[in-house]
Amino acid sequence: MYKYDQEWYVNDDGAQVRRLILHMPEKVKMADVSGKRFSVYVERKNSEGKIMYVKHTWDAPKEEWTRGYRTILASYTSDAKGNPVLEGDYVTLELDMDDAESRAIVGTLAGNKFVDCQYRITQIESIGELDGLVFDELGEIYVPQEKGYTSAVSSYEALPLKYSWYDPGKEGDLPLIIWLHGAGEGGEDPRMSYLGNNVVALSSDPIQSLMGGAAWVLVPTSPTMWMDDGSHEYGDSGKSMYADALFALIEEFVEKHAVDKKRIYIGGCSNGGFMTMRQIIDHPDYFAAGYPMCEALYDKTISDEDIERIKDVPIWFLHAMTDGIVNPEETSVPTYKRLMAAGAKNTHMTYIDDRPPLNQMVNHGVWPIGLRNEANYDFNCQPVLLDGKPVTRFEWLAAMKKHY
């Protein structure tokens, strides 16, 4: 039995196992590993070592066993990190990300969970003199997009919160992008808050370059959900037991790091969109702009005084018409309209018309579009303009700066 390493890749659906790096017992040549030389089987297990029986995606029609065979797209000799070489001590297998068993995370009623992906890679064709090798001992797990992230706990005595942050490794006061996770990415492991969906896009080169080449990314974690008003249930009170603790965390981070206090941006999806709006209402003078997605703060809980206080805060909403989880006609749409009626000059809303047969259904999941920076039109279906030029949501966000 031999070792193998996993390489995870984070995309719209969160972390997936993209490559397996096999520790070969001797050097092998590139030409000898081409074609179908291996079979890859995986069982995804819970903390008790049992194969999980869950829905593969949150909107899947039924639950299934999380086990099966993976599709190999390519195989080649490599170094220890999976970089191709003509002759090496490792063989890397690139796997199909569309495989049902590709995800390193599954959704449960208690939220998203990392799963123990136990692979068994069997050699089914000869490689030189090697034959019948089995790789079933996990060595390392690599997540290249996680580079630069660190996790910690705030020092707010009343209610300390876990969080993760990305350090761009540049000097000088830098902008800060805050991301507030959805309901599925809370809990005890702060890594879930940025690996549960494609939050690492905020630390990727395209978004970082828009921010002037470098920006901090702060990803706080709620032990339950941001909408928890103390009842530990979803509700429409508009209150959160974490509101003060979260703002204390943000202030603490800003004071500890070289943050440009005129360029602090806050956003998030669903549950995190709720808290985005909660923080903007509670602290309208603190943030340079907000970018909530499918936000869940019911408009009925927002007073006319709140609207007046936040009308000058730049906000760009993102929501889908067919959202069956958070009704936009009870949340973002009326809030957007009230802000506009109050005279807001820099409020925008991309309202995705995903009703059949116009487009493929987006429903609640608009954050992939948002994090890919594909939102670029306003509520009237016209491009959002900045200095007379059409901009995407993050181009717009990067240009926002407090003046005081």
Task: Kindly state the average pLDDT of the residues 272-276.
Answer: 98
Beta-bridge partner residues of 348 = 316
Contacts of 376 (CB under 8 A, 6+ apart): 350, 383, 384, 390, 391, 392, 393
Please answer whether residues 362 and 320 qualify as being in contact, where contact means their C-beta atoms are separated by less than 8 angstroms. Answer: yes
Please answer whether residues 94 and 75 qualify as being in contact, where contact means their C-beta atoms are separated by less than 8 angstroms. Answer: yes
Bond before 357 cis per omega within 30 degrees: yes
Task: Kindly state the average pLDDT of the residues 276-285.
Answer: 98
> Which CB contacts under 8 angstroms, 24+ apart, belong to 383-387?
384/316, 384/348
Specify the pLDDT at position 109: 59
Cα separation, 306 vs 379, in Å, equals 22
Specify the pLDDT at position 255: 97
Specify the pLDDT at position 57: 63
Percent of the chain at pLDDT exceeding 70? 96
Task: Kindly state the average pLDDT of the residues 84-106.
Answer: 94
Please answer whether residues 373 and 393 qualify as being in contact, where contact means their C-beta atoms are separated by less than 8 angstroms. Answer: yes
Q: Please write the tens of the pLDDT for every residue from 31-77.
A: 999 888 999 999 999 888 898 877 666 566 777 778 999 999 999 99
Q: Please write the tens of the pLDDT for every residue from 161-204.
A: 999 999 999 999 999 999 999 999 999 999 999 999 999 999 99
